[in-house]
Amino acid sequence: MSNQTTKKNVHAGHRERVRENVLKNGFEQLEDHRLLELLLFYSIPREDTNEIAHRLLNEFGSFSEIIKASPKKLAEVSGVGKNSAIQLAAIGELYTRVIKEGAVKRTPYRSIEELVALVRSQYLNEKNEKLLFICFDSAMRLKKVESFTEGDSVRTSADLKTSISKILENDPTFVIMAHNHPEGSALPSGQDVDSTMTVSTMLRRLDIYLADHIIINRNSYYSMREDSRYNGFFDTEIKE
């Protein structure tokens, strides 16, 4: 029997033992590198995926950082390849979508804590600045989250008018404006204040009410509605 055939048989036996162990004992008992090894079975047919799992963890530091990485970055790790890179990135995207769905309530949003949790769920793995308009009915039940654009252009007058047109498609009563500061403070810039005033004015003309502008960063949030300097921008209070 050749060395290559022997190696193939050894890996086949190991993989079957790993699968049987999971069927018998569940996933919880697996360490991160063992779970990653198992996942890679299905995109890497013959190689030792345990070694590749360790390389991934050494490169990215944790399982959560692995599934946040782009397919291009993942494929740079020795042994990963295109199929595994896409598989791992797809798991990250699936996780993000599940979390977003889980954060959406069907009952009215009443507290700032609930709203901040909703906003934060929309920015999982987001590395660029992005503006959202979150549309609610008259009872503050969520209708739709509209993602507008990224970068500095989110505050230009023309782009804000375009976003208002998008909001109108959802026929909301209340709208919450939200954006992220991937780096630095959650406090608003002068441009953030100006754009909030512009949006508030535009929406009032359409009998739609701006309820808040929430800004988040990695660890904190800022609610413009809670800042007394900007009371004139907002048309409703969010009751506890």
Element (H, E) at 37: helix 32-41
Q: How far is CA 179 from the centre of its chain?
A: 13
In a domain, 239, yes or no: no
In a domain, 24, yes or no: yes
* 193, 220 Cβ separation under 8 angstroms: no
Query: What whole-number distance in Å separates Cα of residue 2 and Cα of residue 14?
Result: 19
- Residue 198, CA atoms < 13 Å, CB-side half-sphere: 17
In a domain, 74, yes or no: yes
Q: What is the pTM of this model?
A: 0.63
Q: Are residues 118 and 220 in the same domain?
A: yes
Query: What whole-number distance in Å separates Cα of residue 195 and Cα of residue 12?
Result: 60
Mapped onto helix, strand or coil, the DSSP state of residue 7 is helix
Q: Are residues 47 and 144 in the same domain?
A: no
In a domain, 224, yes or no: yes
**Number of structural domains in the chain:** 2
Q: What angle do CA 174, 213, 175 make, to 5 degrees?
A: 15
Mean pLDDT of the chain: 84
Mean pLDDT value of segment 2-26: 72
CATH number at residue 86: 1.10.150
Over 50: is that where the pLDDT of 111 sits? yes
* 110, 94 Cβ separation under 8 angstroms: no
Parallel/antiparallel/unpaired status of strands 130-136 and 142-150: antiparallel
In a domain, 29, yes or no: yes
* Per-residue pLDDT, 172: 94
CATH number at residue 144: 3.40.140.10
Of the residues 65, 100, 135, which one is the last residue of a structural domain?
Answer: 100
* Per-residue pLDDT, 240: 45
Please tell me what DSSP assigns to residue 189: P
Q: Are residues 57 and 95 in the same domain?
A: yes
Q: Are residues 124 and 202 in the same domain?
A: yes
In a domain, 83, yes or no: yes
Query: What whole-number distance in Å separates Cα of residue 123 and Cα of residue 120?
Result: 5
Environment class of 20 (CB within 10 Å of its CB; exposed 0-12, middle 13-18, buried 19+): exposed
Q: Are residues 166 and 180 in the same domain?
A: yes
| Phi then psi dihedrals of residue 168, to 5 deg | -60, -30
Q: Are residues 95 and 115 in the same domain?
A: no
Q: Are residues 123 and 158 in the same domain?
A: yes
Mean pLDDT value of segment 105-133: 86
Over 70: is that where the pLDDT of 105 sits? no
Least confident among 94-98, 203-207, 215-219:
94-98
DSSP conformation letters of 161-176: HHHHHHHHTT--SEEE
Mean pLDDT value of segment 183-202: 90
Residues 6+ apart with CB under 8 A from 134: 118, 119, 142, 144, 145, 146, 175, 176, 177, 178
**pLDDT by residue (tens digit) across 62-103?**
888 898 888 999 999 999 989 999 999 898 888 877 776 665
Q: What angle do CA 132, 136, 141 make, to 5 degrees?
A: 125
Of the residues 61, 81, 100, which one is the last residue of a structural domain?
Answer: 100
**pLDDT by residue (tens digit) across 22-67?**
888 888 888 888 899 988 988 988 788 989 999 999 999 988 889 8
Q: Are residues 112 and 15 in the same domain?
A: no
Q: Are residues 70 and 124 in the same domain?
A: no
* Per-residue pLDDT, 236: 63
Could you give the angle at which helices 81-103 and 112-121 cross, rounded to 10 degrees? 160
Of the residues 51, 79, 100, which one is the last residue of a structural domain?
Answer: 100
Residues 6+ apart with CB under 8 A from 41: 15, 18, 49
Residue found by looking up tokens 């029997």 in the block: 1
Q: Are residues 198 and 93 in the same domain?
A: no
Q: What residues form DSSP beta bridges with 145?
A: 134
* Per-residue pLDDT, 127: 79
Banded pLDDT at 1 (limits 50, 70, 90): very low
In a domain, 240, yes or no: no
Structural domain that includes position 193: 106-233
